[in-house]
Amino acid sequence: MNIVVCVKQVPDTAHLKFDANNQLMREGVENIMNPFDEYAVETAIRLKEAHEGSKVTVISMGPAQAKEVLKRAIAMGCDDAFLLSDDAFNGADSWASANTLKHAIQKLVPDFDLVLTGQFATDDMSGITGPALAEFLGVPSVTFCKRVDVADPKTVQAHREVEQGVEVFQMALPGVLCMMKCDYEPRIPSIKGVMKANRTEIPTHDAAAIGLPTDQAGANGSTTVTLKTWRRPKKEGGKKIDGADPQVAVNELIGFLRERKVI
């Protein structure tokens, strides 16, 4: 199998910072591989290990520092990595990002069998990029996956998490799977893997290299615009009702709810 994994570098949610305009700061903060993408990488490596001759290529779009998450993927067990970096990519929404990844995959891994992404990125939680990428590539997709099995060389069995339990789908390849938190955890890179990652040269490709017109990239190619961002107001303390006298407490509660037109 020829597997592609799309990963994103995001700020560590434990150390989020915002500027004066309530924009998420990406410079000068600790950045990590998007947690859901880590499960996509782990799933890809497990499929590679289970099927001899398989290859895993990992791709990320971002600034030069995003090579760190690509090196982590190599250290975990991926084979090749490519960074998509260009000022023309700045300001991309999920739609433009998916279009960029589509051009990169068709240029760099045209004979792919399976593409894995994280279901969400923790910096925007849109959940759009993976399904949009499938649409751009013209292949089927399954979202909210928690496990993947290969039924035969041209079919995968995707276990999809839903509120009622788990749905199981048979998906013909090539296709795209969007991974949630799985029943297994992403592996910790071995010393040998880290040494391999440090030796690996990761090529950088701009818009021209992947055949993407600049009017389809970044903010120019985006279909959405952020007009305003703001922080959610802090929760105020609730009203405490003394329950020493049950009847008085009930009357006070009813009055409280009526004032707010709850009842």
* Token digits of residue 183: 């029943």
Segment 86-114 mean pLDDT? 95
The model's pLDDT over 127-150, given as tens digits with 9 standing for 90+, comes to 999 999 999 999 999 999 999 998
What does the domain layout of the chain look like in residue ranges? Answer: 2-221, 238-263
* 63-69 mean pLDDT: 93
Residue 243 confidence class, pLDDT cut points 50, 70, 90: confident
Three-class SS of the chain: CEEEEEECEEECHHHCCECCCCCECCCCCCEEECHHHHHHHHHHHHHHHHCCCCEEEEEEECCHHHHHHHHHHHHHCCCEEEEECCHHHCCCCHHHHHHHHHHHHHHHCCCCCEEEEECCCCCCCCCCHHHHHHHHHCCCEEEEEEEEEEEECCEEEEEEEECCEEEEEEEECCEEEEECCCCCCCCCCCHHHHHHHHHCCCCEECCHHHCCCHHHCHHHHCCCCCCCCCCCCCCCCCCCCCCCCHHHHHHHHHHHHHHCCCC
pLDDT tens digits, residue range 245-259? 999 999 999 998 998
pLDDT recorded at residue 21:
58
* pTM exceeds 0.85 for this model: no
pLDDT of residue 151: 76
User: Measured on CA atoms in the order 82, 41, 79, 198, is the torsion positive or negative?
Assistant: positive
- Say which residue, 105 or 14, is predicted with more confidence: 105
103 Cβ contact partners less than 8 Å away, ≥ 6 residues apart: 210, 211, 212
CATH topology of domain 2-221: Rossmann fold (3.40.50)
